[in-house]
């Protein structure tokens, strides 16, 4: 039976899953990478690890999954990699040559790409005989038409790679595949998918391909997120540089870590906490979140000449009946109507309008595991 380990490395966490014969056998994550990391797994509960980098975290994960793999070799390790640049539009075997190209993309995703690649290096050392496979968050969006791939900058910037790459591609890939399989009547229609988690974005999918997305050059653009600002007039950046005299690192911290729901509310980046809060600023932060999603549903629909289904996913999209209802009510002009009872029951198909309204649980790890199976059988 083929054994696949999937790894999803962030700046402070390393998520893992083990697939045996294509089915998830166990999963978990090392959190708070640094001086006091913690390993949590669905099979073994919780362990304090002390000082831990990606390599040490992987060693601990190896110990953790030992009883599950039972000494059988891991055939492939699949990695979520944030940036595949212009060249990588599908999962790839991570050869030395591919890794060299991916390292060159670090300036395009300085906060994420180094952690992803560090995790690959650690996995190569830990599993020298396994096939290493990279799955890129940008890959699903390489089908964008030029108008949705470029900015209005002089052409040389586009040629140098300053493009609207889009992210969350593994999630959109999963949902598009799920729709194709379970709702074949929608497979070739116009889908707007809202991936609403700590990171949040939306994607317009037509004939199974991404034609537009709210994230662009970086994972900052589009919707406001837990701590990221979302769409921002570039003039604000000039003001911060010129008038407030902020440096690049300070601006980066402001836009990535101090903005979005956290910055607007002053309460929390976490939607559950905001929904439970009595603070009027928490309510205003949610209002802004809903308003920006509403605007983007319009923009995504316009890019396809209409909409046949609006699909919610991610931690907020899958779990917050209130956000789903508020967004659905605000886009009724597009033929979308919420069936409140079915929404509250958490049903997958919960609309009663002309366009479908759905809630689909995403599974990025499954996409990585499936990609590994394809690479292994090639």
Give the binding site for ligand ADP (CB under 6 A).
197-199, 226, 270-272, 275, 314-316, 319-320
Minimum CB distance to ligand ADP smaller for 13 or for 69: 13
CA distances to 271, 331, 377 from 77, in Å: 33, 42, 14
**Phi, then psi, of 262 in degrees rounded to 5:** -65, -50
Minimum CB distance to ligand ADP smaller for 197 or for 334: 197
- Catalytic member of 137, 221, 363, 370: 137
Minimum CB distance to ligand ADP smaller for 307 or for 328: 328
Q: What minimum distance in Å lies between the beta carbon of 115 and ligand ADP?
A: 14
Q: How far apart are alpha carbons 370 and 375 in whole angstroms?
A: 9
Minimum CB distance to ligand ADP smaller for 166 or for 226: 226
Q: What minimum distance in Å lies between the beta carbon of 278 and ligand ADP?
A: 16
Token pair of 6 as six digits? 């999937």
Minimum CB distance to ligand ADP smaller for 176 or for 362: 362
Q: What minimum distance in Å lies between the beta carbon of 142 and ligand ADP?
A: 22
Other CB atoms closer than 10 Å to residue 16's CB: what's the count? 26
Tell which residue, 190, 201, 199, has the closest CA to residue 292.
201
**Residue with nearest beta carbon to ligand ADP:** 315
Q: How far apart are alpha carbons 40 and 62 in whole angstroms?
A: 13
Q: What minimum distance in Å lies between the beta carbon of 299 and ligand ADP?
A: 22
Q: What minimum distance in Å lies between the beta carbon of 165 and ligand ADP?
A: 18
Q: How far apart are alpha carbons 200 and 216 in whole angstroms?
A: 12
Q: Tokens 């990221």 identify what position?
A: 228
Partners of residue 15 on adjacent β-strands = 8, 29
Q: Which residues contact 129 (CB under 8 A, 6 or more apart)?
A: 73
137 is a catalytic site residue: yes
How many CA atoms lie less than 13 Å away from 212 in the CB half-sphere? 18
Q: What minimum distance in Å lies between the beta carbon of 272 and ligand ADP?
A: 4
Minimum CB distance to ligand ADP smaller for 105 or for 271: 271
Q: How far apart are alpha carbons 148 and 141 in whole angstroms?
A: 10
Q: How far apart are alpha carbons 149 and 237 in whole angstroms?
A: 22
Active site residues: 137
């Amino acid at each position: 039976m083929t054994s696949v380990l999937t790894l999803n490395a962030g700046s402070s966490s390393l998520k893992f899953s083990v697939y045996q014969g294509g089915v998830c056998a166990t999963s978990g994550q090392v959190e708070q990478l640094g001086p006091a990391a913690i390993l949590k797994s669905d099979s073994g509960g919780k362990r304090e690890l002390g000082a831990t980098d990606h390599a040490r975290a992987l060693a601990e994960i190896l110990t953790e999954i030992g009883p599950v793999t039972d000494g059988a070799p891991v055939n492939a390790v699949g990695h979520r990699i944030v940036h595949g640049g212009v060249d990588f539009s599908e999962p790839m075997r991570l050869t030395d040559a591919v890794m060299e190209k991916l390292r060159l993309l670090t300036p395009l995703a300085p906060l994420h790409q180094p952690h992803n690649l560090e995790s690959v290096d650690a996995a190569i050392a830990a599993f020298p005989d396994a096939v290493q496979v990279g799955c890129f968050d940008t890959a699903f969006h390489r089908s964008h038409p030029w108008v949705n791939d470029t900015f209005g900058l002089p052409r040389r910037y586009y040629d140098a790679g300053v493009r609207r790459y889009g992210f969350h591609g593994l999630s959109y890939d999963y949902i598009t595949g799920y729709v194709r399989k379970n709702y074949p009547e929608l497979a070739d229609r116009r889908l707007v998918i809202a991936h609403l988690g700590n990171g949040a974005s939306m994607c317009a999918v037509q004939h199974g391909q991404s034609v537009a997305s709210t994230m662009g050059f970086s994972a900052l653009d589009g919707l406001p997120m837990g701590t990221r600002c979302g769409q921002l007039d570039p003039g604000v950046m000039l003001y911060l540089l010129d008038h407030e005299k902020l440096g690049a690192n300070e601006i980066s911290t402001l836009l990535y870590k101090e903005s979005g729901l956290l910055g607007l509310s002053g309460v929390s980046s976490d939607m559950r906490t905001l929904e439970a809060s009595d603070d009027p600023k928490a309510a205003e932060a949610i209002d802004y979140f809903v308003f920006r999603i509403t605007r983007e549903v319009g923009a995504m629909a316009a890019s396809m000449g209409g909409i046949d289904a609006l699909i919610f996913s991610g931690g907020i999209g899958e779990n917050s009946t209130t956000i789903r209802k508020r967004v659905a009510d605000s886009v009724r002009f597009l033929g979308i109507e919420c069936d409140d009872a079915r929404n509250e029951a958490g049903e997958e198909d919960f609309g009663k309008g002309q366009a479908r309204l759905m809630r689909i649980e995403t599974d990025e790890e499954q996409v990585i595991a499936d990609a590994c199976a394809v690479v292994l059988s090639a």
